[in-house]
Structure 1
Amino acid sequence: MSDTAAKQQATTDMLTDFEQVADINSLDVARYIEQHPDFFIDFPELTEKLKLPHQQKGSISLFELQSEQLRKKNRMLSHKLSQLIAIAKKNEEIYRIYADLNLQLITCRFFSEVQDKLEDIMLDRLRLSAVTLKSFSGAHALPEIQRKLFIEKRFKQEFFFFGRISSHEKQLLFADQSVESVALMLLGDRGELGILAIASHDPGHFNPDMDTLLITQLQQFLNVLLPNLAGY
């Protein structure tokens, strides 16, 4: 008996066995095929006989369905890859902006210049809505009562806060500027230097789950820079 005839006979025997077992249903068949993924390799002639429903094309062969699924999967993977590349490029751009900001801050000799540099970079290049640097000392220091308000409410465990703040807090930090979400950071090894507050028009831009690598580096840089500036 030839191999082809043997396979055909085996197929016939298998189908006959299925028919003879009353309690076998379509789920049992599906489980069997799932547990034996090489089933259609052993019986390729069955793939030509199978017809599967398709929403747009009516009935199609198993091979056509598999080909279409592979094309969809490839398109999905290509789309995800494009998204990852776009995110990587955006992250690289943001990293370069922060690196440039740190370099520009080195040239500052006065506290007021730091505020100007932060505004230039963060408003123009990062497209943020507002940035303010509130010191805890000097002529323009944040009043003690407001300082305690922020520390007790926003910095109980961490030197950072990301998210939404109250209208009163917005007014204290940003006056009448547009603010939806904020990043707040205490400055100084013990939080004694001041607060850097950054705002966005986007309610979800600053959130508790965001990555803090770059903003932490900025905080550390300001911790070293600010005590040595005139006018602080």
Structure 2
Amino acid sequence: MKHELTDSLNDLSASMVKEYLLENSDFFIRHPELLLSLRIPHTERGTVSLIEHQQLNLRSRVQQLEEEITSLLSVASRNEDIYRFYNQLFFDLLNTHSLDEINRVLVDSFKSRFRFAKVRLAITDLQGQFEQPELNLILRRRLNEQGYYLGRLPAQEQNPLVAQDNGSVALVCIGDRSQPVALLAIASNDPSHFSPDMDTMMLDQVRQLLAYKIPQLLHG
């Protein structure tokens, strides 16, 4: 009888067995003795029972979830740190009384928090032109519609901006692109630090604050 049952089972295809079990989800409830007799290959433990296999899968899933939670908490903590940094930066910029103070706050804050290689604030004249002709050309060529450029630049363009040939830069146009008030240039030694797909939400707020503050200091 046992051999006949085995022969009959061998005639079943894997898809038929799978379909049957899916349609009869209570099969192992009705036949609990099978759970202990079924053996499943395991890369580290040889073969294990179905219950052991489920336990191993559950432990693996729990470990994966714990790692995901740890990663999320780490990201949340980092985002909170960045929020606090920008919050303090806004207050410091609001309390400045000269362009030199604004420049000092920007340089000290960004360099100390993110260890950027160079932070520069270049101011335009009344016609919205920079003293360095190269900057006018770079802004017309590189800025996107939102007034940003994030990424790498050829050495001949990056050097006049931040006095370095390698790495990546963030260029932030302060004011209208057609007649900017200033340009904020931030350089990182890491070529991949700034990229076009970066979020600019916090830089947007810095940009708006500077677009208000700089003309106020220039013209009283």
TM-score after normalising by structure 1? 0.82
Correspondence for 1:19 among 8, 27, 34? 8
The answer to whether the 8 A contact 1:33-1:39 is kept is: yes
Match of 1:46 in 2: 34
Correspondence for 1:210 among 181, 198, 201? 198
Give the stretch that moved more between structures: 198-207 or 34-43: 34-43
Runs of 4+ in 1 over 6 A off after TM superposition: none
The answer to whether the 8 A contact 2:155-2:166 is kept is: no
CA–CA separation in structure 1 for the residues paired with 2:51 and 2:203? 53
Unmatched segments (≥5 aa) in structure 2? none
The answer to whether the 8 A contact 2:124-2:180 is kept is: yes
Correspondence for 1:225 among 205, 213, 218? 213
* Aligned-pair Cα RMSD in Å: 2.6
The alpha carbon displacement at 1:18 in A equals: 8.6
CA–CA separation in structure 1 for the residues paired with 2:57 and 2:123? 60
The alpha carbon displacement at 1:127 in A equals: 2.0
CA–CA separation in structure 2 for the residues paired with 1:18 and 1:102? 78
Deviations 1:78-126 (A, max 9, x none): 0110111011111111111111111111222221221111111000122
> Does the alignment pair 1:105 with 2:93?
yes
**Identity level (%):** 33
Correspondence for 1:137 among 125, 135, 146? 125
Q: Read off the aligned partner of 1:40 and give its amino acid letter.
A: F
Give the stretch that moved more between structures: 206-215 or 27-36: 27-36
Q: Read off the aligned partner of 1:19 and give its amino acid letter.
A: S
- Number of residue pairs aligned between Structure 1 and Structure 2: 215
SS in 1 for 2:69: helix
The answer to whether the 8 A contact 1:180-1:202 is kept is: yes
> Does the alignment pair 1:160 with 2:131?
no
Unmatched segments (≥5 aa) in structure 1? 1-11
Match of 2:77 in 1: 89
TM-score after normalising by structure 2? 0.86
Match of 2:171 in 1: 184
